[in-house]
Amino acid sequence: MLEGVAMLTHTETPWIRRLVAAPDSSVRVVCFPHAGGSASYFRPLAIELAPHAETLAVQYPGRQERRAEPPLESVAELADAAFEALRPAVEGPFVFFGHSLGALVAFEVALRLQQVSAPGPRRLFASAVSAPSVFRQPTAHFGDDDALVAELCRLGGTDPARLSAAQIRAMSLPAVRADYRAVEKYRPAPDARVTCPITALVGTHDPIVSLRDSAAWRAHTTAKGELRVFEGGHFYLDHTVRDVAATVLNAW
């Protein structure tokens, strides 16, 4: 999905946005966007989580107010930068929620926190993406602009009319292509596992993520792994945000 600019609260780093302040909450939810997505995608979820949880969202370069910055083209680069930004920004208990590409980035950030013995997430919510160990055939990022737009529309997260103008395509598609390249070239370490529980979430009619491939996230934690299925496609979250928020809040 591609979004316009939203009014978000800036933290001290361009990588982190505070979507809805909840100063009396006991936990923070840190959200990681999908390919082509931005921090503002999670604002509806943040509203549902408040006041019980405060929501922060990672803002990748190449979109919204960071549109002038070149996008990063690998999960490792995104995770390295997010890791450095989040360490001083997150205090107290927190969980990670990543959607599609964002779940892979969140997973890698959690691994990096483990490697330096820093406090990590209480739980990782991996939404709308196959487990890291599932092979990803690199195809979408090789296509021309028309093919990339067709793929975005197939997933249901983008209004085709928004991408009909050449100017909009020129501004939006470089980041989308870089994100797809990051997903399709991602190859985790064979023994990559986090120590926190993982909850995988998937839509019943997701055209690119099967229930089996989502459930395979269980192999990437030394703790408990579980699967939650919601009605909808790749962007099931758009229509089930209240139920997803309840799933997150009931997990601790």
Of the candidates 16, 188, 193, which has an alpha carbon nearest to the alpha carbon of residue 87? 16
pLDDT tens for the chain, residues 1 to 252: 333 333 344 457 899 999 998 888 989 999 999 998 999 999 999 999 999 999 999 999 998 899 999 999 999 999 999 999 998 878 789 999 999 999 999 999 999 999 999 999 999 999 999 999 987 665 654 557 778 888 887 787 666 666 666 777 777 888 888 999 999 899 998 889 999 999 999 999 999 999 999 999 999 999 999 999 999 999 999 999 999 999 999 987
Bridge-based pairing of strands 9-10 and 16-20 is: antiparallel
Question: Among 67, 65, 2, which residue's Cα sits nearest to residue 36?
Answer: 2
Q: Which residues are catalytic?
A: 100
Written as one letter, the residue type at 189 is: A
For 163, phi then psi, to 5°, come to -105, 15
pTM over 0.85: yes
